[in-house]
Chain A
Amino acid sequence: GQNIDQPTEMTATEGAIVQINCTYQTSGFNGLFWYQQHAGEAPTFLSYNVLDGLEEKGRFSSFLSRSKGYSYLLLKELQMKDSASYLCAVRPRGDKIIFGKGTRLHILP
């Protein structure tokens, strides 16, 4: 079967750095995505990894290790607007994308 695990909730302080981990077990691998979702809103794309290593995009970076079935999303210089759910998602084959349940990130002033 397909399984994607990530922590349910995390709390961090404004200006700090936080790392959100994701582990996956899927039948096939054609890429891993991270999405941000504010409460009651649509998910929006943050990053895509298909090869091992780190992808950096401004304050956000995403890492992938295919051999370990592991990824993380790193958020730097946290801002209050970063309070949201972060969804890890995997495309097992060339079609559907499977999402984890998401990590709710709370930012404290």
Chain B
Amino acid sequence: DSGVTQTPKHLITATGQRVTLRCSPRSGDLSVYWYQQSLDQGLQFLIQYYNGEERAKGNILERFSAQQFPDLHSELNLSSLELGDSALYFCASSVDGGSNEKLFFGSGTQLSVL
């Protein structure tokens, strides 16, 4: 158990809908990362937050948004869902995002868009 909690584990929804994925980092970790993993693309970096502020952005679509709250949990919002958004979404955390820090991953949310 990495100590990172993601909910829900599975989500099935329809095209055009909006969903929210939730992540609680390990106790004491200030930095949260979101990744999308599909079969052919591997782990794609979406966005990173540090202590409530956005620190780095990857290839995150405009339909997607995220935030980190004062209690350090984070939410990833996906809207106007398309079939291609079906993927495994991982959240990871680290203490402060320093260079040598490893990431601890949650067990992921499997999103299926039908």
Binding site for B on A (CB under 8 A): 30-31, 33, 40-45, 48, 50, 87, 89, 91, 94-102
Contact = CB atoms under 8 A, between A and B. Distances in A.
A43 B105 contact: yes
Interface string B88-104: 10100000011110111
Given A48-B102, A87-B42, A101-B41, 11 more contacts: A31-B100, A45-B102, A91-B99, A94-B98, A94-B99, A96-B33, A96-B45, A98-B45, A99-B44, A101-B42, A102-B43
A96 B105 CA distance: 14
B25 interface: no
Q: Chain A's interface: helix, strand, loop or mixed, by majority? A: loop
Contacts, number: 56
A42 B5 CA distance: 11
B56 A96 contact: yes
A90 B47 CA distance: 16
Nearest to B94: A97
A55 to B, nearest CB: 12
23 contacts: A31-B100, A33-B103, A41-B107, A42-B90, A42-B105, A42-B107, A42-B108, A43-B43, A43-B90, A44-B105, A45-B102, A45-B104, A50-B100, A87-B43, A95-B55, A95-B97, A96-B56, A98-B45, A99-B42, A99-B44, A100-B42, A101-B41, A102-B43
